[in-house]
Structure 1
């Protein structure tokens, strides 16, 4: 197993307070065409020439370079710190005209941490349009813990979002988000590389905190309701507020429903 090389990054490469608020609220960030095309082409060549599964991380220098870009390192450090732990990686390969969809599920359900989280980074070296079947996710689902494939009986859920994008697209997911891969209806093979990282330190105050309690940032969290949440949407609001306290490192900031955290003396 090869570790991820981390270097100090400039403040401008850290996630902004608004970006972190969206991650806390929706459980993911999607950066379209984020990785330079020249590097995408090198990774794609490695993928076509036989990289697969757990071995690709060690076999492809190019894919490791993707995660050593200052912009990517800034995202990683904002979420899991400067000493993240390499958990695992995998190159998923879906052949052309593959008709099978993956069932809805969540990863690593046995997790007793109240607020800490792993991240999973999905990287596409090539264009991944909707018809190619990139992963479906359900925004806001990361704070409702479920038991692996207990969601498998569902097919479509209102508000679901597909991680489609151009070559170089990078999706950063909270490990608890509900997701499922889709059929590939094109005549091209779909490659997606997944890297999972665990935090090597407490995840408090790691991003650019400028304006973390501004009206704009508060609005993102306070209005982050999803239609699928139904009658429990205010409970999800409370979970967002607790996670926001954790990632900001400020145990007095309160973006909960009607200031419930403060009223309850929490």
Structure 2
């Protein structure tokens, strides 16, 4: 057993849930990875129902309004992927948000959630030799192509141009559109270019987003 494996298992992450070398390399190149943690279908249906009856969007307090959501991010498969990308001692940031994509919602412009700034002394910033932060998006319902799925540009976390130079572009080649089954978890490099697409269905598409960071 290697010292790295020992460190992961000491944090409660089993080696069988870690990403393999090819998966880590793919994330470094393309900037995203999809996990499908195993829960009963009723678990996701209940979360969807709980989100539907919220009177307002609780923002960072979404996990207090719907506590079961935290179970998604504590699932061994999700923890294993995050540990592989951020290290065994990664932390969950205070920022969380529930995105409601209602029927009739138009497509967003391409954007980054990061600030696209140079590397800082603490390792945060636009250019770094390791993955510093990731967005983790959970979808409690099946996402069809007409429900406003999240679109992203693989490899765009490596773009160096200022945000306003790319945001107005309407179409990039080789986009990935997250048409995924209920319960899917999409892990994105914090610098990746992404956008919510138009919802032309008759159903609200929910996505709950957490931010995780390397310690």
Q: TM-score under structure 1 normalisation?
A: 0.68
Secondary structure of 1:131 counterpart:
coil
- Return the alpha-carbon distance in structure 1 between the equivalents of residues 43 and 164 of structure 2: 35
**Over alpha carbons, which structure has the higher Rg?**
1
C-alpha separation in 1, matches of 2:61 and 2:87: 25
Does residue 173 of the first structure (1) align with residue 173 of the second (2)? no
* Deviation for aligned residue 1:137: 0.4
TM-score, with structure 2 as normaliser: 0.83
More helix by share: 1
CA contact (8 A) 2:37 2:78 kept: no
In structure 1, the residue matched to 2:136 is: 121
Shift of the alpha carbon at 1:30? 2.2
- Which residue in 2 is equivalent to 1:150? 165
Aligned to 1:76: 82
Q: Is the CA contact (8 Å cut-off) linking 1:124 and 1:169 kept in structure 2?
A: yes
Match of 1:55, SS?
A: helix
Question: Higher relative contact order by CA 8 Å / sep ≥ 6: 1 or 2?
Answer: 2
Aligned pair partner of 1:63 in 69, 75, 78: 69
How big is the shift at 1:132?
A: 0.6
Note if contact 1:85-1:199 (Cα within 8 Å) is conserved in structure 2.
Answer: yes
Aligned position for 2:112: 106
Contact 1:39 1:66 in 2 (8 A): no
Q: State the distance in 1 between where 2:96 and 2:21 align.
A: 28
2:90 corresponds to 1:90: no
Q: Using the alignment, how far apart are the partners of 2:29 and 2:73 within structure 1?
A: 24
* 1:130 Cα deviation after fit: 1.1
Give the SS at the match of 1:20.
helix
* Secondary structure of the structure 2 residue equivalent to 1:194: strand
Q: How many residues align?
A: 193
Match of 1:25 in 2: 29
Give a deviation string over 1:113-160, Cα, whole Å, max 9, x none: 422321111110001111111111011111123433431220011111
Q: Distance in 2 between matches of 1:38 and 1:16?
A: 30
Aligned equivalent of 2:152? 137
In structure 1, how many angstroms separate the alpha carbons of the residues matched to 2:49 and 2:37?
18
State the shift of 1:70 in Å: 1.1
Contact 1:137 1:178 in 2 (8 A): yes
The structure carrying a bigger strand percent of its residues is: 2
Gaps in structure 1 of 5+ consecutive residues = 1-5, 201-266
Residues 1-40 of structure 1: per-residue CA shift (max 9 Å, x gap): xxxxx95111001111111111111111123x54422321
Q: Which runs of 5+ in 2 are unaligned?
A: 1-9
Q: Which runs of 4+ in 1 moved over 6 A?
A: none
Partner of 2:6: none
